[in-house]
Copies of this chain bind each other. A is one copy, B any other.
Amino acid sequence: MAVYTDVAAEDLARFLAGYEIGELLAYKGIAEGVENSNFLVHTSRGNFILTLYERRVAEGDLPFFLALMEHLARRDITCPQPVKNKVGKTLGKLAGRPAAIVTFLDGMWIRRPTAAHCAALGEALARLHLAGRDFSMRRENALSVAGWRQLHEGCRERAHKVERNLEAVVAAELDVLEREWPNGLPQGVIHADLFPDNVFFLGDKLSGLIDFYFACTDTLAYDVVICLNAWCFESDHSYNVTKGRALLASYVKTRPFSSQEWEKLPLLARGAALRFLLTRLVDWLDVPQGALVRPKDPREYARKLRFHQKVKSPRDYGVIEP
């Protein structure tokens, strides 16, 4: 939870004068999101979200993210819609940061998702992948297999502070994944960070997806196993096969997996576990004094990695592939 950059009312009023979204009545920093500073902006026309992009987001990537949200919204994926200013631009500058106004989405994220929520997620993710097929821009995934070794090098010597033997576990896993990582599976736009706090519900109905700032071009099934890791394990770290089945069955109903995708699912899931293990490890070890964000525990993902290493077949995830 964080607001890294404060915005003065006078500066915000001047910025909003460039838009046609009514008169500024109030704004509040939002205690969510770890990458950017977000504000709820209340105007005479309703609520909006103002995002200031902080250093962890590369400015050159912003046109990709904003164009993607526009593209998806045109294809009926409910996600924040970048608002164009009076000269037709979605990206501006405020308080020394790149800044954008997006529409406010109703809905709440679910702290304790059920199998029904996982099923709704599966369908939404498949629809997202289909809607992204004709999106023309590309963005490499810096946090996929080609980027993991560098993350590992940056923290391997301190990994034992988090868990005994963790460095060796990661090193061995990296060797396997670099050797066996599949390159021929269907690719496209993936969200790459669709954790529960990025998925809104109204009642049991999924009402929107947010936070596309890790979106990139990568293996579609990899996006699915990122969700499997984030949604289908219990707080005691056990895999919930009912939730996994709900997510996967619902996904493949809208976008069926090829037999290659089914076959590679366990390997992709190991990769998805390693990716979050590594980034959490770096954040955990490098948390600055006085940080506004509590780093998440990397050991959660070490446990998930061990689970997937023992998986013998995609059937273990709860679905009998067709």
Contact = CB atoms under 8 A, between A and B. Distances in A.
A1 B26 contact: no
Interface in A1-37: 1-3, 6, 8-10, 12, 24-32
A307 interface: no
Contacts of A109: 9
A28 B40 contact: yes
Taking the full assembly, how many copies of this chain does it contain?
2
A304 to B, nearest CB: 22
Most buried by B among A105, A108, A201: A108
A28 B31 contact: yes
A290 interface: yes
Nearest to A31: B29
A320 interface: no
A108 B26 contact: yes
Contact of A111 (B2, B8, B24, B108): B8
A198 to B, nearest CB: 14
A42 B3 CA distance: 20
Interface of A: 1-3, 6, 8-10, 12, 24-32, 40, 42, 47, 104-112, 200-202, 290-292, 294
21 contacts: A1-B1, A1-B31, A1-B292, A2-B31, A6-B111, A9-B109, A9-B111, A10-B110, A10-B111, A12-B108, A24-B108, A27-B108, A28-B32, A28-B40, A29-B30, A30-B30, A30-B40, A42-B47, A42-B104, A47-B47, A292-B294
